């Protein structure tokens, strides 16, 4: 835990009579508290307690360092590099050292509790509770859709319900309330800040019944200028102290890490199931002890009623971390579901309860995810977890064909495209080349050449994208294979990292193989 001088200033307010602090004191750079020994050099990573009560006059150095000065026997420096807190004359050195060490320990324990929660349940509400204990003000965490995804505010402050509607596990900001806020220049500016910053309403919020002007501390999380969400700390109990800015940024750092976790509501063992889900999707999983252990972690049976969804991210979300919010929303809304980022999409596997229909579940999710995902591909129901691979392909095919053939709709069910897919990828009296993907037809021009890209790509796909095995089968060096694959990527339009594109290419190669046998 690294503590700032402003944080120490707030914690030591009872004994501090003055300060000489500027922007340098907002940096979290204090790694501990030490009493200063005469003639000892100062470093900029500790808070030194200086005894200025004796006969010798202490001269404050003209260098960057951090001091807690006890007594009045000192001379100021000519620069403002040294950041100083001045202890009341009635306080002795030992008491000042003890108070500073207690304050530092208190911040350290607070930070340890945040991290313990982060490594435990990833409960955003609990993170808000722990954060509020130090800030002494309520805390809310908003996502990019301005829905409250974590808070310790409700129901302690019922007037906020005038601004928010409860929807399942979330509180959604009412459109009229958000419109009033966004009409204020001072509020719009908060979307541009990346550190903790105070929002002071430039006009009353009295157009929203029961709400007066409320000052709030804001910290946005995201990357670059991309807005992904924010922590909001309304100044209900007291106005923000200078050290609260650093505390809010520390809390934001912890929340940002929590949002990077596969799920904000599961413990680390839950990652075992997510890893296994990827194996199921890719068709590599087996009916063994790992299956039983993985299903136990997610409280799933081996057999039951299951559904697989493949969701395309809305425009602008594919290059951000919005998928973290989407996965969390889905898992909170549908207990027992598991959502992961796979390829360029969000894949969700869910177990349907007794009497629960796929139609109702998908309709509810569609409404929840509007604005986050552009289209949703839906598989048929299936009864065995080990069949996930085939039904993921159904959902992925439904998504791609739905976007292509019915872009005006958001939800696409495989059953609606099955016959069309069979017609497009099946057989007839026409030669096999008529059913091949254009990329495969393009590579046919290289058959029999020194660089037989057709044979190289087919082998690579058949070997499950394993470059070592592919190089062995082709009797070439791995570096050579790597260069060939880069050249192939320049020729074809398909994305070899996309499971759907790989499936389409494999089907085309198989159609050609069968056609050649029949010929």
Q: What fold is seen in the domain 426-518?
A: Arc Repressor Mutant, subunit A (1.10.10)
Instruction: Inform me whether the pLDDT recorded for 266 exceeds 50.
Output: no
Secondary structure class of 339 (helix, strand, coil): strand
Instruction: Inform me whether the pLDDT recorded for 423 exceeds 70.
Output: no
Q: Which residues of 14-25 are buried (b: 16+ CB within 10 A; e: fewer)?
A: ebbeebbbeebb
At how many degrees (to 10) do helices 453-462 and 467-474 cross?
Answer: 130
Instruction: Output the pLDDT for position 399.
Output: 94
- Residue-wise pLDDT for 77-112, tens only, equals 888 899 999 998 889 899 999 999 999 999 999 998
Contact present, 163 and 173 (Cβ < 8 Å)? yes
Tokens 């082709």, residue located: 474
Of 460 and 508, more confident: 460
Indicate the Cα dihedral angle 461, 466, 469, 473, nearest 10°.
Answer: 20
CA distance 258 to 122: 6
Domain borders along the chain are 5-113, 121-260, 270-421, 426-518
Structure token digits, residue 330: 């889905």
Mean pLDDT, residues 42-58 = 88
Give me the residues paired with residue 349 across strands: 308, 338
Instruction: Inform me whether the pLDDT recorded for 207 exceeds 60.
Output: no
Mean pLDDT, residues 103-126 = 84
Instruction: Output the pLDDT for position 264.
Output: 43
Instruction: Output the pLDDT for position 265.
Output: 39
Among 348, 332, 335, 346, which residue's Cα sits nearest to residue 300?
335
Give me the residues paired with residue 199 across strands: 216
Mean pLDDT, residues 280-297 = 74
Instruction: Inform me whether the pLDDT recorded for 52 exceeds 80.
Output: yes
Highest mean pLDDT out of 28-32, 162-166, 268-272: 28-32
Instruction: Output the pLDDT for position 101.
Output: 94
**Average pLDDT, whole number, for the chain?**
82
Q: What fold is seen in the domain 121-260?
A: Beta-Lactamase (3.30.450)
Instruction: Output the pLDDT for position 267.
Output: 43
Instruction: Output the pLDDT for position 440.
Output: 86
At how many degrees (to 10) do helices 499-518 and 418-425 cross?
Answer: 50
CATH superfamily membership of 270-421:
Reverse transcriptase/Diguanylate cyclase domain (3.30.70.270)
Percent of the chain at pLDDT above 90?
A: 28
Q: What is the DSSP letter of 34?
A: E
Q: What is the DSSP letter of 446?
A: G
Among 249, 230, 258, 262, which residue's Cα sits nearest to residue 126?
258
- Write the Ramachandran bin of 212: left for phi over 0, alpha for psi from -120 to 50, otherwise beta: beta
Examine residue 155 and say whether the peptide bond preceding it is cis (omega within 30 degrees of 0): yes
- Residue-wise pLDDT for 395-405, tens only, equals 998 999 999 98
- Residue-wise pLDDT for 189-201, tens only, equals 888 777 888 887 6
Indicate the Cα dihedral angle 504, 509, 512, 517, nearest 10°.
Answer: -130
CA distances from 126 to 92, 152, 153, 480 (A): 39, 8, 12, 53
Structure token digits, residue 58: 């202490």
- Residue-wise pLDDT for 429-479, tens only, equals 446 666 677 788 889 888 888 889 999 999 999 998 999 999 999 999 999
- Residue-wise pLDDT for 151-188, tens only, equals 887 667 776 777 777 654 567 777 777 887 888 888 88
Mean pLDDT, residues 17-22 = 91
């Amino acid at each position: 835990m690294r503590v700032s001088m402003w944080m120490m200033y707030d914690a030591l307010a009872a004994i501090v009579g003055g300060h000489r602090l500027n922007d340098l004191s907002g940096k979290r750079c204090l790694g501990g508290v030490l009493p200063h020994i005469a003639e000892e050099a100062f470093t900029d990573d500790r808070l030194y307690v200086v005894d200025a009560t004796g006969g010798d006059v202490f001269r404050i150095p003209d260098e960057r360092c951090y001091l807690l000065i006890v007594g009045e026997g000192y001379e100021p420096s000519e620069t403002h590099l040294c950041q100083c807190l001045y202890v009341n004359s009635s306080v002795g050195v030992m008491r000042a050292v003890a108070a500073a060490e207690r304050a530092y320990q208190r911040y350290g324990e607070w930070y340890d509790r945040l991290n313990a929660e982060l490594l435990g349940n990833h409960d955003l509400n609990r993170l808000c509770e722990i954060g509020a204990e130090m800030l002494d003000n309520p805390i809310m965490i908003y996502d990019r859709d301005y829905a409250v995804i974590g808070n310790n505010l409700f129901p302690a402050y019922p007037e906020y319900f005038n601004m928010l509607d409860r929807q399942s596990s979330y509180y959604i900001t009412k459109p009229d309330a958000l419109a009033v806020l966004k009409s204020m220049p001072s509020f719009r500016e908060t979307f541009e800040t990346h550190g903790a910053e105070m929002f002071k309403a430039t006009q009353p919020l009295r157009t929203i019944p029961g709400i007066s002007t409320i000052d709030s501390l804001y910290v946005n999380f995201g990357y670059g200028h991309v807005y992904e969400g924010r922590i909001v700390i309304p100044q209900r109990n007291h106005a923000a102290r200078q050290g609260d800015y650093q505390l809010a940024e520390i809390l934001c750092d912890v929340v940002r890490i929590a949002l990077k976790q596969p799920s904000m509501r599961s413990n680390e063992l839950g990652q075992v199931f997510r890893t296994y889900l990827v194996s199921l999707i890719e068709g590599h999983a087996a009916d063994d002890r790992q299956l039983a252990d993985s299903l136990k972690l997610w409280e799933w049976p081996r057999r039951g009623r299951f559904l697989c969804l493949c969701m395309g991210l809305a425009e602008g979300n594919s290059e951000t971390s919005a998928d973290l919010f989407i996965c969390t929303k889905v898992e909170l809304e549908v207990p027992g579901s598991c959502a992961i980022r796979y390829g360029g999409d969000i894949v969700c596997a869910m177990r349907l309860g007794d009497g629960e229909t796929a139609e109702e579940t998908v309709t509810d999710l569609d409404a929840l995810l509007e604005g986050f995902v552009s289209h949703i591909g839906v598989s048929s129901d299936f009864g065995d977890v080990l069949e996930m691979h085939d039904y993921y392909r159904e959902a992925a095919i439904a998504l791609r064909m739905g976007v292509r053939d019915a872009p005006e709709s958001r939800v696409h069910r495989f059953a609606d495209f099955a016959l069309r897919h069979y017609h497009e990828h099946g057989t007839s009296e026409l030669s096999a080349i008529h059913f091949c993907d254009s990329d495969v037809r393009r590579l046919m021009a290289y058959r029999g050449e020194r660089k037989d890209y057709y044979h190289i790509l087919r082998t690579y796909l058949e070997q499950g994208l394993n470059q070592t095995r592919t190089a062995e089968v082709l009797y070439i060096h791995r570096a050579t294979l790597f260069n060939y694959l880069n050249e192939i990527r320049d020729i074809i339009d398909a994305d070899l990292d996309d499971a759907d594109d790989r499936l389409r290419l494999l089907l085309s190669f198989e159609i050609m193989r069968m056609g050649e046998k029949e010929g």
